[in-house]
Chain A
Amino acid sequence: MIGDYTLVEFSSILAMQGFAGLILFSVFVLMALGLAIIFGQMGVINMAHGEFMILGAYVTWLCSHFVTAYVPALFPIYFFIAMALAFLASGALGMLVEWAMIRHLYKRPLDTLLATWGLSLILQQLYRSVFGAREVGVSLPDWMMGSIALTDIIEVPINGIFVMVLTMLISLGVFILMFRSAWGRRVRAVVQNRAMAGAVGINTKKVDRVTFGLGCGVAGVAGSAFTMIGSTGPTAGQLYIVDTFLVVVFGGAASLIGTIASAFTISQAQSTMEFFMSGSMAKVLTLLTVVGILMLRPEGLFTLKMRR
């Protein structure tokens, strides 16, 4: 007996909270992956990252309406189309932003922060003017609804599982792209030593642009996945931006594994504590712990040893 619960009930509750934590974890990982590429690899602070994510969410929403209206046959699999479109839309916008703004500011990281904050305000208002201030949700295909009962007490929703699988696949894709492909090698070379990378014939400007575009594209996919578990509003991106930055910094900015590990730690801690106290206090305690650890260990949990 623990408190008023039997052991079975208590462990089921822990498992359910753990599962809720896993969904939060997926959202964190999806958002943080793009940020880890842009901030961790390029050192650029993109405060508009949440808005790139929301762009992906709105693309998915548009796509769901388009498919229901014109090609209902495709409805069961429209999410995959929407995700590809979200990736392309956010990635293209990212490359445009890199060309117009970011590339002039590589040597002034603090100014990039302010400029991208300005961009995020403009995008938010743009979404509000185009799509309206109300939150929108997409309709899920039948196979994603409902839940699977594992035991009498524990039930897990299918869309949550789907998002988790998706998160794993995307993380794997990003990992292969960054660490197993020729292109990823070039990105890492530019990060470690820009001048030398340029000297051996890598087009560093092109690498910068594509890397930024990729980070934003991943954010777009994250937004697309986000629509499956929540609704989308013009300011939804801003709610997550601080958490996501903390996830990336906490994990060690240049380490993808660290990002995933820290997303796991933070989301589990938060959802477990949410059971014992109010949601806001759980969040305060989690964030405070993270900030406290960062003050003691500013380089984050996982660090790459490299010469700066």
Chain B
Amino acid sequence: MSALSGESSRVNLRGWSARSVAGIVMALFVLFFVIPIVWLLLAVTKSAKSLIVSNPFSAGSWSDLVANWHQLFAFQDGAVTTWIGNSAVYALGALVITLVVGVPAGYALALTEFKGRRALLVLTLVVMLIPSTALVLPIFLELNSIGLIGSPLSVILPMSFFPFGVYLTYIYFSTSIPRDLLAAARIDGCTEFQVFSRIALPLAAPIVALVAFFSFVQNWNNFFLPFVMLPSSDGYPVQVGLTSLLAATPAFNPSSAGSDSVQLPTLALATIVSILPVLFVFLFSQRFLVAGMTAGGTKE
């Protein structure tokens, strides 16, 4: 059975022409997805002038990269460093709360019985489908009334409410964990908490990683919530900070030409720097993520 499962579930594309068409389509999409990224990586190694006059896919120089780097981190006396630190605090703080709160909740919704279970399940789905920005302004007013606006908690707490993560764990626990296994553990004398921590949680490691991944990426990239909650530049996460950089780029905002202005390659560098942590997580977790996505089919 397992010897077969790798290859034979794949559908054969027969025929030379069908394969070429399929190959061309896939290759075109590779170009579509990759060209902007390759260009971006090259753009940061150029001066503002050579970015415009040289071939888009030529490499610049190390010295230009260093110069861009210095210009970026000198912007508003090192504001970029502050923003990145803020992003880390917000994203990681919310991630920890999300996991601690969400994974047990998904487990309970899938495999235990309690009053209001179905109501909470429906509520989870409904809130998951609500455009989160529809709640941003009301949450703003709610937190405003208890004086949390501008505090890190005003973004961490709302971000740590992650019904999508609960839904994912719920689906996983209810479809991929055999109930008989849990029943056997109970017969063997496990308490309910041990059933969760020793049996279900280890089996769910791939989905926990998946939730952690989605949560971190979403938190790091969140724009609207911090945009509304944090009035002061000191509290910006880097995503919101990018708007300050954009506003200081004469190429896109002619009125900003001045001493603290930002050149195009520097703005490109800011774009890369702003996503570096997420990029690392992507590169680092690729194998793990795919394993998580397909775990249900391979655990036998």
| A associates with B | no
B interface residue numbers (CB < 8 A to A): none
A interface residue numbers (CB < 8 A to B): none
